[in-house]
């Protein structure tokens, strides 16, 4: 029984860290889902302030991913990640407890509650930016190199499953038991996460010997230079940036395209949305056979190309049954793309750099996604006005999805060319 358990969970420490991440992600997802319902259906249901309130909650979670994450990565490399993870969970537990106490003891008005929610989201997001790079640094030590892809697929499986479960549980909790008890569930989740991490064995000593202590800003700049100069890391960052821009465009265009172009019903659109995470779950089971055919860098590029091809096909007015299959494929290839990122980092980043290098990915994704969202949202109305003015019958929403998909395909093609050129240079350098 013990050998089977260790075979599935790789090691005792990995299993505890895996459960810790699951609890932590559960807390984050449930609270974010609860907040949206709280703001929309209760606090500002009939108020013109509602769009601003939603924007503030989104910004509170997003801004630390851009500003705090690169700096947090430097701190992680200067400290012991084991303690950083526990500290991040303790801060989130105390943050929730303080909010619950204030909310329960005082009769707060709408703006005061919103202010508390925004501060709660902001502090939680800041703590998460320390937690995530620390986890990457620890996993580089804990996971044997030959099982890194397997570990990443297990983490993606739990993350996808938890996100699906949390998206429905958060609103249900708010409706059935109210916001306070929903917040207590978050306290429990982050407490369990901290206890799982604290239960690992000898992890502090394993990591203590790997620490380097560069000056803060010199360490920060050296991490940026390393990320860009290392070909594999630069490829990863370019791929993440391309996906982020595509994600930002699709955040605006996909729902409009589904209802106004494809003419889907609410039920059909729900099935389309569900197909994406289902594809992601299936990818976690197929990633190992996939990597027997390609090396990890080739698999990363091919996943990006297939993701672009799936979105491009989806933009060409498919019937509902084919649209369902294509969205399943989008989830499948995105999950493969995401699973491969962790092992690529762990393979190519030396000890003492993991916090800084892994912390560059989140802001790149956040910034590129924000740019994609702004470009699409700010030009969509202009595009529609132009088509109406010139009396041209064009599917504007499909064109945006098509363009984002072409960008993914172009980026993937350039990566493939770069890999072939590098392979040719290596081959030419080998003497006969």
Looking at the structure, give the CATH architecture of the domain made up of residues 214-422. Answer: Up-down Bundle (1.20)
Where are the chain's structural domains? Answer: 1-211, 214-422
Burial 377-402 (b: 16+ CB within 10 A, else e): eeebeeeeeeeeeeeeeebbbbebbb
pTM for the model: 0.74
Q: Please, what is the end-to-end C-alpha distance for the chain in angstroms?
A: 52
Shared fold status for 1-211 and 214-422: yes
Six token digits for residue 311: 């979105």
Taking each helix axis from N to C end, the angle separating 354-389 and 216-229, rounded to the nearest 10 degrees, works out to: 60
Q: How far is CA 422 from CA 233, 304, 337, 417, 425, in A?
A: 15, 19, 21, 9, 5
For residues 170 and 26, the answer to whether their CB atoms sit within 8 Å is no
| Sign, CA torsion 185/187/193/198 | negative
Residue 322: the pLDDT is 94
What are the start-end ranges of the H helices in 209-353?
216-229, 231-256, 266-293, 296-314, 320-348
| Residue from 285, 281, 335 nearest 306 by CA | 335
Taking only the tens of pLDDT, the chain with its 432 residues reads: 455 555 556 778 888 888 888 888 888 888 877 887 888 778 888 777 877 887 788 788 888 888 888 888 888 877 788 888 899 999 999 999 999 999 989 888 889 999 999 999 999 999 998 988 888 788 777 777 777 777 777 777 777 778 777 767 777 777 788 888 878 988 999 999 999 999 888 776 555 444 455 677 777 777 778 777 777 788 888 888 888 888 888 887 887 888 888 888 877 877 887 888 888 888 888 888 887 888 888 888 889 899 999 999 999 989 999 999 999 999 999 888 888 887 877 777 776 677 777 778 878 888 888 888 888 877 877 777 777 766 666 778 888 899 999 988 988 887 777 666 555 443 443 344
- What is the C-alpha separation between 139 and 134, in angstroms, rounded? 9
Q: Please state, as a whole number, how many other Cβ atoms lie within 10 Å of the Cβ of residue 210.
A: 16
Q: Please state, as a whole number, how many other Cβ atoms lie within 10 Å of the Cβ of residue 129.
A: 25
Residue 327: the pLDDT is 92
Six token digits for residue 309: 């091809």
Fold of 1-211: Growth Hormone; Chain: A; (1.20.1250)
- What is the C-alpha separation between 131 and 138, in angstroms, rounded? 11
């Amino acid at each position: 029984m013990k050998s089977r358990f260790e075979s599935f969970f790789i090691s005792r420490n990995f299993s505890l860290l895996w459960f810790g991440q699951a609890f932590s992600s559960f807390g984050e997802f449930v609270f974010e889902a609860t907040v949206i319902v709280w703001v929309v259906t209760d606090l500002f249901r009939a108020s013109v302030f509602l769009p601003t309130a939603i924007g503030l909650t989104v910004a509170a979670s997003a801004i630390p991913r851009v500003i705090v994450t690169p700096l947090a990565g430097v701190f992680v490399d200067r400290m012991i990640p084991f303690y950083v993870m526990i500290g991040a969970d303790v801060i989130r537990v105390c943050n929730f407890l303080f909010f619950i106490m204030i909310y329960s003891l005082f009769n707060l008005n709408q703006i005061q509650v919103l202010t508390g929610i925004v501060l709660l989201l902001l502090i939680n997001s800041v703590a998460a930016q320390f937690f995530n790079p620390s986890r990457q640094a620890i996993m580089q030590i804990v996971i044997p190199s030959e099982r890194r892809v397997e570990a990443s697929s297990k983490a993606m499986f739990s993350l996808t499953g938890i996100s699906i479960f949390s998206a429905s549980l958060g609103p249900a909790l708010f409706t059935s038991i109210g916001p306070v008890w929903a917040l207590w569930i978050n306290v429990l989740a982050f407490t369990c996460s901290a206890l799982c991490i604290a239960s690992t064995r000898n992890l502090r000593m394993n990591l203590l010997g790997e620490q380097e202590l560069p000056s803060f800003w010199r360490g920060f700049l050296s991490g940026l230079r390393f990320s860009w100069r290392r070909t594999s890391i630069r490829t990863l960052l370019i791929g993440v940036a391309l996906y982020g821009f595509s994600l930002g465009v699709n955040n605006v265009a996909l729902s409009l395209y589904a209802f106004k172009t494809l003419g889907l019903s609410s039920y059909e659109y729900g099935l389309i949305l569900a197909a994406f995470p289902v594809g992601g779950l299936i990818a976690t089971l197929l990633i190992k056979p996939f990597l027997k055919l390609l090396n990890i860098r080739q698999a990363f590029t091919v996943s990006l190309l297939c993701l672009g091809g799936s979105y491009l096909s989806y933009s060409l007015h498919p019937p509902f049954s084919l649209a369902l299959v294509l969205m399943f494929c989008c989830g499948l290839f995105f999950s493969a793309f995401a699973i491969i990122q962790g092992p690529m980092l762990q393979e190519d980043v030396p000890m003492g750099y993991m916090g800084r290098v892994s912390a560059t990915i989140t802001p790149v994704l956040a910034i590129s996604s924000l740019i994609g969202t702004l470009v699409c949202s700010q030009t969509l109305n202009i595009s529609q006005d132009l088509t109406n003015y010139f009396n041209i019958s064009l599917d504007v929403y499909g064109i945006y999805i098509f363009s984002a998909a072409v960008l993914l395909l172009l980026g993937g093609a350039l990566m493939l060319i770069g890999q072939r050129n590098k392979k040719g240079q290596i081959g030419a350098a080998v003497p006969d």
